[in-house]
Structure 1
Amino acid sequence: MIPGLDGLERFRVALEEHVATVTITAPPVNAQDRRFREEIVRVFDVLHDTADVRAVVLTGEGRAFSAGADLRERPNLAEEPGGYPRHNRLVRASFDAVMECGKPIVAAVNGAAIGAGCVLALCCDILVVAEEAFLSMTEVDVGLAGGVRHVMRFFGQSDARLMILTARRITGPELLRMNAASLCVPKDRLLEEATAIARQIAAKAPLAVQAAKRSFNLTEEMPLRDGYRYEQSQTVALARTDDTREAQRAFAEKRKPTFQGR
Protein backbone atom coordinates (compact mmCIF):
# COMPACT_ATOMS: atom_id res chain seq x y z
CA MET A 1 0.00 0.00 0.00
CA ILE A 2 1.29 3.43 -0.95
CA PRO A 3 1.03 5.77 2.08
CA GLY A 4 -1.88 8.16 1.75
CA LEU A 5 -4.00 5.88 -0.45
CA ASP A 6 -5.93 3.89 2.13
CA GLY A 7 -9.72 3.78 2.14
CA LEU A 8 -10.23 4.14 -1.63
CA GLU A 9 -13.66 3.05 -2.92
CA ARG A 10 -13.43 3.87 -6.63
CA PHE A 11 -9.80 2.93 -7.34
CA ARG A 12 -7.23 0.22 -6.71
CA VAL A 13 -3.53 1.10 -6.79
CA ALA A 14 -0.62 -1.35 -7.07
CA LEU A 15 3.10 -0.59 -7.28
CA GLU A 16 5.72 -2.81 -8.89
CA GLU A 17 9.14 -1.94 -10.32
CA HIS A 18 8.48 1.81 -10.00
CA VAL A 19 5.25 1.55 -12.02
CA ALA A 20 1.95 2.34 -10.28
CA THR A 21 -1.09 0.67 -11.84
CA VAL A 22 -4.28 2.60 -11.08
CA THR A 23 -7.47 0.64 -11.80
CA ILE A 24 -10.88 2.31 -11.80
CA THR A 25 -13.21 0.08 -9.75
CA ALA A 26 -16.63 1.74 -9.85
CA PRO A 27 -19.03 -0.86 -11.27
CA PRO A 28 -20.91 -1.32 -13.43
CA VAL A 29 -19.39 1.19 -15.90
CA ASN A 30 -16.87 3.22 -13.86
CA ALA A 31 -19.03 6.36 -13.92
CA GLN A 32 -17.60 9.51 -12.36
CA ASP A 33 -19.41 10.83 -9.30
CA ARG A 34 -18.26 13.18 -6.55
CA ARG A 35 -16.49 10.38 -4.66
CA PHE A 36 -14.72 9.32 -7.86
CA ARG A 37 -13.44 12.85 -8.48
CA GLU A 38 -12.31 13.40 -4.90
CA GLU A 39 -10.45 10.10 -4.92
CA ILE A 40 -8.76 10.59 -8.30
CA VAL A 41 -7.40 13.94 -7.12
CA ARG A 42 -5.99 12.24 -4.02
CA VAL A 43 -4.56 9.30 -5.98
CA PHE A 44 -2.64 11.37 -8.49
CA ASP A 45 -1.51 13.99 -5.98
CA VAL A 46 -0.03 11.18 -3.86
CA LEU A 47 1.60 9.51 -6.86
CA HIS A 48 3.06 12.89 -7.84
CA ASP A 49 4.81 13.06 -4.48
CA THR A 50 5.82 9.39 -4.18
CA ALA A 51 9.49 9.09 -5.11
CA ASP A 52 9.29 5.34 -5.74
CA VAL A 53 6.72 5.93 -8.51
CA ARG A 54 8.29 6.79 -11.85
CA ALA A 55 5.42 6.03 -14.24
CA VAL A 56 1.72 5.23 -14.02
CA VAL A 57 -0.74 3.02 -15.93
CA LEU A 58 -4.42 4.02 -15.71
CA THR A 59 -7.07 1.49 -16.73
CA GLY A 60 -10.62 0.41 -15.94
CA GLU A 61 -12.02 -2.75 -14.42
CA GLY A 62 -14.72 -4.59 -16.32
CA ARG A 63 -16.13 -3.67 -19.71
CA ALA A 64 -15.63 0.10 -19.52
CA PHE A 65 -12.69 2.42 -19.04
CA SER A 66 -15.17 5.05 -17.82
CA ALA A 67 -18.65 5.66 -19.20
CA GLY A 68 -18.50 9.31 -18.14
CA ALA A 69 -20.17 11.50 -15.56
CA ASP A 70 -22.88 10.20 -13.26
CA LEU A 71 -25.71 12.42 -14.53
CA ARG A 72 -27.70 11.86 -11.33
CA GLU A 73 -25.30 14.26 -9.61
CA ARG A 74 -25.58 17.07 -12.16
CA PRO A 75 -26.71 20.25 -10.32
CA ASN A 76 -30.24 21.55 -10.74
CA LEU A 77 -29.97 25.22 -11.65
CA ALA A 78 -33.40 26.04 -10.24
CA GLU A 79 -32.97 24.26 -6.92
CA GLU A 80 -29.25 24.58 -6.17
CA PRO A 81 -27.83 28.09 -6.61
CA GLY A 82 -24.06 27.93 -6.85
CA GLY A 83 -24.16 24.20 -7.58
CA TYR A 84 -22.61 24.40 -11.02
CA PRO A 85 -19.53 26.46 -10.01
CA ARG A 86 -18.80 23.97 -7.21
CA HIS A 87 -19.41 21.01 -9.49
CA ASN A 88 -17.30 22.42 -12.32
CA ARG A 89 -14.35 23.20 -10.02
CA LEU A 90 -14.23 19.59 -8.85
CA VAL A 91 -14.55 18.27 -12.40
CA ARG A 92 -11.64 20.45 -13.52
CA ALA A 93 -9.59 19.40 -10.49
CA SER A 94 -10.13 15.72 -11.30
CA PHE A 95 -8.71 16.19 -14.79
CA ASP A 96 -5.98 18.63 -13.71
CA ALA A 97 -4.68 16.16 -11.12
CA VAL A 98 -3.99 13.67 -13.91
CA MET A 99 -2.50 16.17 -16.36
CA GLU A 100 -0.37 17.85 -13.70
CA CYS A 101 0.92 14.66 -12.06
CA GLY A 102 4.69 14.79 -12.46
CA LYS A 103 4.87 11.14 -13.46
CA PRO A 104 4.02 10.11 -17.06
CA ILE A 105 0.69 8.30 -17.34
CA VAL A 106 -0.11 5.59 -19.87
CA ALA A 107 -3.85 5.13 -20.42
CA ALA A 108 -4.75 1.49 -21.04
CA VAL A 109 -8.20 2.02 -22.54
CA ASN A 110 -9.92 -1.32 -22.06
CA GLY A 111 -13.44 -0.43 -23.19
CA ALA A 112 -15.89 2.44 -23.50
CA ALA A 113 -14.47 5.88 -22.69
CA ILE A 114 -17.44 8.21 -23.03
CA GLY A 115 -17.78 11.92 -22.26
CA ALA A 116 -15.85 12.60 -19.08
CA GLY A 117 -14.32 9.14 -19.49
CA CYS A 118 -12.98 10.15 -22.89
CA VAL A 119 -11.58 13.37 -21.42
CA LEU A 120 -9.94 11.39 -18.61
CA ALA A 121 -8.15 9.20 -21.15
CA LEU A 122 -7.05 12.31 -23.07
CA CYS A 123 -5.57 13.79 -19.88
CA CYS A 124 -3.00 10.98 -19.92
CA ASP A 125 0.32 11.23 -21.74
CA ILE A 126 0.20 8.11 -23.91
CA LEU A 127 -2.83 6.15 -25.13
CA VAL A 128 -2.84 2.39 -25.63
CA VAL A 129 -6.25 1.07 -26.68
CA ALA A 130 -7.88 -2.32 -26.98
CA GLU A 131 -9.22 -3.17 -30.41
CA GLU A 132 -12.82 -3.17 -29.15
CA ALA A 133 -12.39 -0.03 -27.02
CA PHE A 134 -13.72 3.31 -28.18
CA LEU A 135 -13.71 7.00 -27.33
CA SER A 136 -16.90 8.99 -27.68
CA MET A 137 -17.98 12.53 -26.81
CA THR A 138 -21.77 12.28 -26.52
CA GLU A 139 -22.49 15.74 -25.15
CA VAL A 140 -24.45 16.91 -28.20
CA ASP A 141 -26.76 13.89 -27.77
CA VAL A 142 -27.95 15.30 -24.43
CA GLY A 143 -27.96 18.97 -25.40
CA LEU A 144 -24.54 19.82 -24.00
CA ALA A 145 -21.17 20.75 -25.50
CA GLY A 146 -18.01 19.94 -23.58
CA GLY A 147 -14.56 18.43 -23.97
CA VAL A 148 -13.63 20.31 -27.14
CA ARG A 149 -10.28 21.62 -25.88
CA HIS A 150 -9.17 18.22 -24.57
CA VAL A 151 -10.16 16.51 -27.82
CA MET A 152 -8.17 19.07 -29.84
CA ARG A 153 -5.00 18.09 -27.97
CA PHE A 154 -5.05 14.57 -29.44
CA PHE A 155 -6.98 14.88 -32.71
CA GLY A 156 -6.53 16.83 -35.91
CA GLN A 157 -9.02 19.58 -36.67
CA SER A 158 -11.33 17.58 -38.94
CA ASP A 159 -11.29 14.47 -36.71
CA ALA A 160 -11.90 16.58 -33.58
CA ARG A 161 -14.96 18.16 -35.17
CA LEU A 162 -16.15 14.79 -36.45
CA MET A 163 -15.94 13.39 -32.95
CA ILE A 164 -17.63 16.31 -31.15
CA LEU A 165 -20.34 17.15 -33.70
CA THR A 166 -21.48 13.60 -34.50
CA ALA A 167 -20.99 11.98 -31.07
CA ARG A 168 -19.90 8.85 -32.93
CA ARG A 169 -17.79 6.11 -31.38
CA ILE A 170 -14.15 6.20 -32.48
CA THR A 171 -12.89 2.64 -32.14
CA GLY A 172 -9.40 1.39 -31.38
CA PRO A 173 -8.28 0.87 -35.00
CA GLU A 174 -9.69 4.29 -35.97
CA LEU A 175 -7.88 5.94 -33.06
CA LEU A 176 -4.62 4.42 -34.29
CA ARG A 177 -5.30 5.62 -37.84
CA MET A 178 -6.07 9.13 -36.56
CA ASN A 179 -2.76 9.16 -34.63
CA ALA A 180 -4.67 9.66 -31.37
CA ALA A 181 -3.40 6.37 -29.89
CA SER A 182 0.13 4.96 -29.93
CA LEU A 183 -0.91 1.30 -29.96
CA CYS A 184 -4.06 -0.71 -30.67
CA VAL A 185 -3.84 -4.27 -29.40
CA PRO A 186 -6.08 -7.24 -28.51
CA LYS A 187 -7.67 -6.71 -25.11
CA ASP A 188 -5.81 -9.63 -23.53
CA ARG A 189 -2.51 -7.88 -24.32
CA LEU A 190 -3.59 -4.36 -23.34
CA LEU A 191 -2.24 -4.16 -19.81
CA GLU A 192 0.95 -6.00 -20.78
CA GLU A 193 1.70 -3.52 -23.58
CA ALA A 194 0.83 -0.44 -21.50
CA THR A 195 2.93 -1.69 -18.58
CA ALA A 196 5.88 -2.39 -20.89
CA ILE A 197 5.83 1.26 -22.00
CA ALA A 198 5.58 2.45 -18.39
CA ARG A 199 8.51 0.25 -17.36
CA GLN A 200 10.59 1.60 -20.22
CA ILE A 201 9.87 5.13 -18.99
CA ALA A 202 10.60 4.13 -15.39
CA ALA A 203 14.06 2.91 -16.41
CA LYS A 204 15.09 6.41 -17.51
CA ALA A 205 16.47 9.18 -15.32
CA PRO A 206 13.46 10.21 -13.18
CA LEU A 207 14.31 13.91 -13.03
CA ALA A 208 14.79 14.04 -16.80
CA VAL A 209 11.46 12.28 -17.43
CA GLN A 210 9.64 14.66 -15.10
CA ALA A 211 11.29 17.65 -16.77
CA ALA A 212 10.21 16.36 -20.18
CA LYS A 213 6.59 16.03 -19.00
CA ARG A 214 6.71 19.56 -17.60
CA SER A 215 7.96 20.77 -20.96
CA PHE A 216 5.07 19.12 -22.78
CA ASN A 217 2.56 20.68 -20.40
CA LEU A 218 4.05 24.15 -20.18
CA THR A 219 5.15 24.71 -23.78
CA GLU A 220 1.97 23.46 -25.47
CA GLU A 221 0.61 27.00 -25.90
CA MET A 222 3.98 28.78 -26.19
CA PRO A 223 5.51 30.13 -29.40
CA LEU A 224 8.34 27.94 -30.69
CA ARG A 225 11.11 30.29 -29.56
CA ASP A 226 9.78 30.62 -26.00
CA GLY A 227 9.08 26.93 -25.70
CA TYR A 228 12.55 25.93 -26.81
CA ARG A 229 14.16 28.46 -24.47
CA TYR A 230 12.22 26.89 -21.59
CA GLU A 231 13.41 23.42 -22.61
CA GLN A 232 17.00 24.66 -22.69
CA SER A 233 16.60 25.98 -19.15
CA GLN A 234 15.49 22.47 -18.11
CA THR A 235 18.61 20.99 -19.72
CA VAL A 236 20.84 23.40 -17.81
CA ALA A 237 19.15 22.51 -14.52
CA LEU A 238 19.38 18.76 -15.21
CA ALA A 239 23.09 19.02 -16.08
CA ARG A 240 23.74 19.86 -12.43
CA THR A 241 22.05 16.72 -11.07
CA ASP A 242 23.66 13.48 -9.94
CA ASP A 243 21.24 11.42 -12.04
CA THR A 244 22.24 13.14 -15.29
CA ARG A 245 25.91 12.60 -14.54
CA GLU A 246 25.16 8.94 -13.73
CA ALA A 247 23.17 8.52 -16.96
CA GLN A 248 26.05 9.91 -19.02
CA ARG A 249 28.64 7.75 -17.23
CA ALA A 250 26.50 4.63 -17.67
CA PHE A 251 26.00 5.38 -21.36
CA ALA A 252 29.75 5.75 -21.88
CA GLU A 253 30.50 2.62 -19.85
CA LYS A 254 27.72 0.59 -21.56
CA ARG A 255 26.02 -0.39 -18.30
CA LYS A 256 22.62 0.06 -16.67
CA PRO A 257 22.43 3.32 -14.70
CA THR A 258 21.49 3.54 -11.03
CA PHE A 259 19.37 6.59 -10.28
CA GLN A 260 18.92 8.28 -6.91
CA GLY A 261 16.38 10.92 -7.87
CA ARG A 262 18.70 13.82 -7.22
Structure 2
Amino acid sequence: MGVSTARPGNGVRLVTVDFPPVNALPVRGWYDLADAVRAAGRDPAVRCVVLAAEGRGFNAGVDLKELQRDDAARTALIGVNRACAEAFAAVYGCEVPVVAAVQGHCLGGGVGLAGNADALVASDDARFGLPELDRGALGAATHLARLVPQHLMRTLYFTSRTVTARELHAHGAVWRVTPRDRLREAALELAREVAAKDGELLRLAKAAINGIDPVDVHRSYRFEQGFTFEAGLSGLADRVRGAFGAAPAEEAGR
Protein backbone atom coordinates (compact mmCIF):
# COMPACT_ATOMS: atom_id res chain seq x y z
CA MET A 1 0.00 0.00 0.00
CA GLY A 2 1.25 3.50 -0.84
CA VAL A 3 3.26 4.91 -3.73
CA SER A 4 5.85 2.73 -5.44
CA THR A 5 8.31 3.19 -8.28
CA ALA A 6 9.50 0.66 -10.85
CA ARG A 7 11.93 0.72 -13.76
CA PRO A 8 10.45 -1.15 -16.73
CA GLY A 9 13.46 -0.12 -18.81
CA ASN A 10 13.99 1.93 -21.95
CA GLY A 11 14.11 5.26 -20.11
CA VAL A 12 10.64 4.79 -18.58
CA ARG A 13 9.79 5.16 -14.88
CA LEU A 14 6.53 3.68 -13.57
CA VAL A 15 4.95 5.39 -10.53
CA THR A 16 2.07 3.39 -9.05
CA VAL A 17 -0.49 4.47 -6.45
CA ASP A 18 -2.14 1.84 -4.23
CA PHE A 19 -4.44 3.00 -1.42
CA PRO A 20 -7.24 0.39 -1.09
CA PRO A 21 -10.10 0.18 -1.48
CA VAL A 22 -10.54 2.94 -4.09
CA ASN A 23 -7.38 5.08 -4.03
CA ALA A 24 -8.77 7.94 -1.96
CA LEU A 25 -5.47 9.46 -0.85
CA PRO A 26 -4.59 10.79 2.61
CA VAL A 27 -2.50 13.95 2.87
CA ARG A 28 0.72 11.96 3.18
CA GLY A 29 -0.18 9.98 0.08
CA TRP A 30 -0.46 13.11 -2.06
CA TYR A 31 2.95 14.29 -0.88
CA ASP A 32 4.49 10.86 -1.50
CA LEU A 33 3.09 10.88 -5.01
CA ALA A 34 4.53 14.35 -5.64
CA ASP A 35 7.94 13.24 -4.36
CA ALA A 36 7.97 10.11 -6.54
CA VAL A 37 7.04 11.97 -9.73
CA ARG A 38 9.57 14.74 -9.10
CA ALA A 39 12.34 12.24 -8.34
CA ALA A 40 11.58 10.36 -11.55
CA GLY A 41 11.70 13.55 -13.59
CA ARG A 42 15.04 14.58 -12.09
CA ASP A 43 16.69 11.27 -12.99
CA PRO A 44 18.73 11.88 -16.17
CA ALA A 45 18.17 8.28 -17.24
CA VAL A 46 14.38 8.81 -17.35
CA ARG A 47 12.74 10.16 -20.49
CA CYS A 48 9.08 9.42 -19.73
CA VAL A 49 7.01 8.70 -16.59
CA VAL A 50 3.91 6.51 -16.46
CA LEU A 51 1.50 7.30 -13.61
CA ALA A 52 -0.69 4.30 -12.82
CA ALA A 53 -2.79 2.82 -10.02
CA GLU A 54 -3.70 -0.55 -8.58
CA GLY A 55 -7.19 -1.65 -7.69
CA ARG A 56 -10.72 -0.66 -8.64
CA GLY A 57 -10.01 2.82 -9.90
CA PHE A 58 -7.31 5.33 -10.74
CA ASN A 59 -8.12 7.86 -8.03
CA ALA A 60 -11.14 8.82 -5.92
CA GLY A 61 -9.75 12.12 -4.63
CA VAL A 62 -9.08 12.82 -1.00
CA ASP A 63 -9.99 10.69 2.00
CA LEU A 64 -12.84 12.56 3.67
CA LYS A 65 -12.19 10.73 6.94
CA GLU A 66 -9.22 13.04 7.48
CA LEU A 67 -11.41 16.10 6.99
CA GLN A 68 -14.06 14.70 9.30
CA ARG A 69 -11.43 14.48 12.05
CA ASP A 70 -10.26 18.07 11.51
CA ASP A 71 -9.39 20.27 14.48
CA ALA A 72 -10.22 23.90 15.27
CA ALA A 73 -7.13 25.09 13.42
CA ARG A 74 -8.37 23.37 10.24
CA THR A 75 -5.11 21.43 10.03
CA ALA A 76 -6.57 18.73 7.80
CA LEU A 77 -8.22 21.16 5.39
CA ILE A 78 -5.01 23.16 5.01
CA GLY A 79 -3.02 19.95 4.64
CA VAL A 80 -5.30 18.58 1.92
CA ASN A 81 -5.25 21.85 -0.02
CA ARG A 82 -1.47 22.02 0.03
CA ALA A 83 -0.91 18.33 -0.65
CA CYS A 84 -3.22 18.20 -3.67
CA ALA A 85 -1.59 21.33 -5.10
CA GLU A 86 1.84 19.71 -4.67
CA ALA A 87 0.83 16.49 -6.42
CA PHE A 88 -0.86 18.24 -9.34
CA ALA A 89 2.10 20.60 -9.73
CA ALA A 90 4.56 17.69 -9.67
CA VAL A 91 2.79 15.98 -12.57
CA TYR A 92 2.54 19.17 -14.61
CA GLY A 93 6.08 20.29 -13.81
CA CYS A 94 7.74 16.89 -14.24
CA GLU A 95 10.86 17.47 -16.33
CA VAL A 96 9.86 14.74 -18.78
CA PRO A 97 6.47 13.81 -20.29
CA VAL A 98 3.97 12.02 -18.04
CA VAL A 99 1.54 9.40 -19.37
CA ALA A 100 -1.42 8.66 -17.07
CA ALA A 101 -2.90 5.15 -17.22
CA VAL A 102 -6.47 5.54 -15.99
CA GLN A 103 -8.85 2.74 -15.06
CA GLY A 104 -12.24 2.72 -13.37
CA HIS A 105 -13.13 5.90 -11.50
CA CYS A 106 -11.09 9.06 -11.94
CA LEU A 107 -12.76 11.55 -9.62
CA GLY A 108 -11.83 14.85 -8.00
CA GLY A 109 -8.11 14.70 -7.40
CA GLY A 110 -7.86 12.03 -10.06
CA VAL A 111 -8.99 14.61 -12.62
CA GLY A 112 -6.35 16.95 -11.21
CA LEU A 113 -3.66 14.36 -11.92
CA ALA A 114 -5.00 13.27 -15.30
CA GLY A 115 -5.64 16.82 -16.45
CA ASN A 116 -2.05 17.81 -15.70
CA ALA A 117 -0.53 14.76 -17.42
CA ASP A 118 0.88 15.08 -20.93
CA ALA A 119 -1.02 12.10 -22.36
CA LEU A 120 -3.80 9.77 -21.24
CA VAL A 121 -4.39 6.11 -21.93
CA ALA A 122 -7.60 4.79 -20.38
CA SER A 123 -9.41 1.50 -19.91
CA ASP A 124 -12.83 1.08 -21.47
CA ASP A 125 -14.45 1.21 -18.02
CA ALA A 126 -12.84 4.52 -17.02
CA ARG A 127 -15.06 7.42 -15.97
CA PHE A 128 -13.95 10.97 -15.22
CA GLY A 129 -15.73 13.58 -13.12
CA LEU A 130 -15.80 16.10 -10.31
CA PRO A 131 -18.32 15.26 -7.56
CA GLU A 132 -17.15 18.32 -5.64
CA LEU A 133 -20.50 20.08 -5.28
CA ASP A 134 -22.00 16.93 -3.79
CA ARG A 135 -19.14 16.70 -1.29
CA GLY A 136 -19.02 20.27 0.00
CA ALA A 137 -15.83 21.08 -1.90
CA LEU A 138 -14.60 22.96 -4.96
CA GLY A 139 -11.56 22.66 -7.19
CA ALA A 140 -9.98 20.93 -10.21
CA ALA A 141 -12.17 22.73 -12.74
CA THR A 142 -8.79 23.99 -13.94
CA HIS A 143 -7.82 20.44 -14.84
CA LEU A 144 -11.17 19.29 -16.19
CA ALA A 145 -11.03 22.25 -18.58
CA ARG A 146 -7.88 20.70 -20.05
CA LEU A 147 -9.84 17.54 -20.92
CA VAL A 148 -13.15 18.83 -22.31
CA PRO A 149 -14.50 22.00 -23.94
CA GLN A 150 -15.49 24.91 -21.70
CA HIS A 151 -19.27 24.48 -21.71
CA LEU A 152 -19.06 20.74 -21.16
CA MET A 153 -16.68 21.36 -18.26
CA ARG A 154 -19.20 23.72 -16.67
CA THR A 155 -22.09 21.30 -17.17
CA LEU A 156 -20.12 18.41 -15.67
CA TYR A 157 -18.98 20.58 -12.77
CA PHE A 158 -22.43 21.91 -11.88
CA THR A 159 -24.14 18.51 -12.19
CA SER A 160 -21.39 16.26 -10.76
CA ARG A 161 -21.89 13.97 -13.75
CA THR A 162 -19.09 11.85 -15.23
CA VAL A 163 -17.88 11.19 -18.77
CA THR A 164 -16.46 7.96 -20.17
CA ALA A 165 -13.02 7.34 -21.59
CA ARG A 166 -14.55 6.92 -25.03
CA GLU A 167 -16.24 10.32 -24.77
CA LEU A 168 -12.91 11.90 -23.82
CA HIS A 169 -11.27 10.06 -26.71
CA ALA A 170 -13.82 11.70 -29.02
CA HIS A 171 -12.82 15.10 -27.60
CA GLY A 172 -9.14 14.30 -28.20
CA ALA A 173 -8.18 14.17 -24.51
CA VAL A 174 -7.52 10.41 -24.34
CA TRP A 175 -4.92 8.98 -26.72
CA ARG A 176 -6.15 5.41 -26.61
CA VAL A 177 -8.94 3.36 -24.97
CA THR A 178 -8.10 -0.27 -24.18
CA PRO A 179 -9.55 -3.22 -22.26
CA ARG A 180 -8.54 -2.98 -18.62
CA ASP A 181 -6.21 -5.98 -18.82
CA ARG A 182 -4.27 -4.21 -21.59
CA LEU A 183 -4.11 -0.79 -19.96
CA ARG A 184 -0.69 -0.95 -18.31
CA GLU A 185 1.00 -2.31 -21.42
CA ALA A 186 -0.72 0.24 -23.67
CA ALA A 187 0.52 3.09 -21.45
CA LEU A 188 4.05 1.65 -21.39
CA GLU A 189 3.95 1.25 -25.15
CA LEU A 190 3.23 4.97 -25.59
CA ALA A 191 5.84 5.85 -22.97
CA ARG A 192 8.48 3.79 -24.77
CA GLU A 193 7.71 5.60 -28.00
CA VAL A 194 8.21 8.94 -26.25
CA ALA A 195 11.31 7.69 -24.44
CA ALA A 196 12.92 6.74 -27.76
CA LYS A 197 13.56 10.47 -28.35
CA ASP A 198 16.69 12.28 -27.21
CA GLY A 199 16.43 12.86 -23.46
CA GLU A 200 17.87 16.37 -23.38
CA LEU A 201 15.66 17.51 -26.23
CA LEU A 202 12.58 16.00 -24.55
CA ARG A 203 13.25 18.06 -21.43
CA LEU A 204 13.57 21.21 -23.50
CA ALA A 205 10.35 20.31 -25.31
CA LYS A 206 8.45 19.77 -22.05
CA ALA A 207 9.61 23.14 -20.69
CA ALA A 208 8.72 24.85 -23.97
CA ILE A 209 5.22 23.37 -24.14
CA ASN A 210 4.48 24.27 -20.52
CA GLY A 211 5.72 27.78 -21.23
CA ILE A 212 3.17 28.38 -23.98
CA ASP A 213 0.15 27.10 -22.03
CA PRO A 214 -2.69 29.66 -22.23
CA VAL A 215 -3.63 29.07 -18.56
CA ASP A 216 -1.28 29.11 -15.57
CA VAL A 217 -2.53 25.89 -13.99
CA HIS A 218 -0.83 26.54 -10.64
CA ARG A 219 -2.36 29.98 -10.12
CA SER A 220 -5.73 28.90 -11.51
CA TYR A 221 -6.03 25.92 -9.17
CA ARG A 222 -4.87 27.87 -6.13
CA PHE A 223 -7.54 30.47 -6.92
CA GLU A 224 -10.15 27.70 -6.90
CA GLN A 225 -8.82 26.39 -3.61
CA GLY A 226 -9.48 29.73 -1.96
CA PHE A 227 -13.20 29.11 -2.38
CA THR A 228 -12.84 25.55 -1.08
CA PHE A 229 -11.19 26.97 2.03
CA GLU A 230 -13.95 29.57 2.41
CA ALA A 231 -16.58 26.83 2.24
CA GLY A 232 -14.68 24.87 4.87
CA LEU A 233 -14.22 27.78 7.28
CA SER A 234 -17.83 28.91 7.02
CA GLY A 235 -19.26 25.50 7.81
CA LEU A 236 -20.89 25.27 4.40
CA ALA A 237 -18.78 22.25 3.41
CA ASP A 238 -19.81 20.32 6.54
CA ARG A 239 -23.47 21.19 5.94
CA VAL A 240 -23.40 19.93 2.34
CA ARG A 241 -21.53 16.76 3.28
CA GLY A 242 -23.98 16.20 6.10
CA ALA A 243 -26.93 16.59 3.75
CA PHE A 244 -25.36 14.21 1.29
CA GLY A 245 -25.04 11.92 4.28
CA ALA A 246 -24.64 8.36 3.15
CA ALA A 247 -21.75 8.85 0.73
CA PRO A 248 -18.72 6.85 1.90
CA ALA A 249 -15.54 8.81 2.54
CA GLU A 250 -13.56 6.97 -0.10
CA GLU A 251 -15.87 8.25 -2.86
CA ALA A 252 -14.94 11.85 -2.17
CA GLY A 253 -12.93 14.01 -4.52
CA ARG A 254 -11.15 17.30 -4.45
User: What is the TM-score normalised by the length of structure 1?
Assistant: 0.76
Q: Which residue of 2 aligns with 1:188?
A: 181
- Report the Cα distance in structure 2 between the residues aligned to 1:192 and 1:12, rounded to whole angstroms: 17
Q: Which amino acid aligns with 1:141?
A: D
User: Which residue does the alignment assign to 2:114?
Assistant: 121
Q: How many residues align?
A: 214
Secondary structure of 2:146's partner? helix
Q: Which of 5, 13, 20 does residue 5 from structure 2 map onto?
A: 13
| Post-superposition CA distance 1:36-76 (Å, at most 9, x none) | 11211210121121111110111110111011110112277
Which of these residues, 201, 215, 228, is aligned with residue 194 of structure 2? 201
User: If you compute each CA radius of gyration, which structure gives the higher value, 1 or 2?
Assistant: 1
Matched, 1:63 2:59: no
Instruction: Give a deviation string over 1:65-120, Cα, whole Å, max 9, x none.
Output: 01111011227777125654443222211111111110111111021111111211
Amino acid at match of 2:166: P
**Alpha-carbon distance between aligned partners in 2 of 1:82 and 1:193, rounded to the nearest angstrom:** 40
**Residues 64, 219 of structure 1: alpha-carbon distance in 2 compared, 3 angstrom cutoff:** same
Paired with 2:194 and 2:210, the residues of 1 have a C-alpha distance of 17
Structure 1 gaps, min length 5 = 1-8, 223-262
Q: CA deviation at 1:35?
A: 1.7
State whether residues 13 and 22 of structure 1, in contact with CA within 8 Å, keep that contact through their aligned partners in structure 2: yes
- Say whether residues 1:31 and 2:40 are aligned partners: no
Conservation of the 8 A alpha-carbon contact between 1:20 and 1:55: yes
Distance 1:23 1:83 in 2: 24
* SS of corresponding position for 1:65: coil
- Partner amino acid for 2:183? L
Q: Looking at both structures, which has the greater relative contact order when contacts are Cα pairs under 8 Å and sequence separation is at least 6?
A: 2
Distance in 1, matches of 2:23 and 2:128, equals 14
- Distance in 1, matches of 2:162 and 2:194, equals 30
Identify the range of structure 1 (199-208 vs 83-92) with the bigger mean alpha-carbon deviation. Answer: 83-92
Q: Which amino acid aligns with 2:4?
A: R
Partner of 2:209: 216
From the superposition, tell whether residues 159 and 49 of structure 1 become closer, same or farther in structure 2 (CA, over 3 Å). Answer: same
Spell out the pairing of 1:85-164 with structure 2 (5 A cutoff): 85-164=78-157
Return the offset for 1:201. Answer: 0.7
- Give the CA deviation at 1:11: 1.4
Identity, in percent, stands at 34
What amino acid maps onto 2:3 in structure 1? F
Contact kept, 8 Å, 1:69 with 1:117, in 2: the verdict is no
Partners of 2:80 and 2:180 lie apart in 1 by 34
Kept in 2: contact 1:75–1:87 (CA 8 A)? no
Pair 1:171-2:164 in alignment: yes
Q: Secondary structure at the match of 1:30?
A: coil
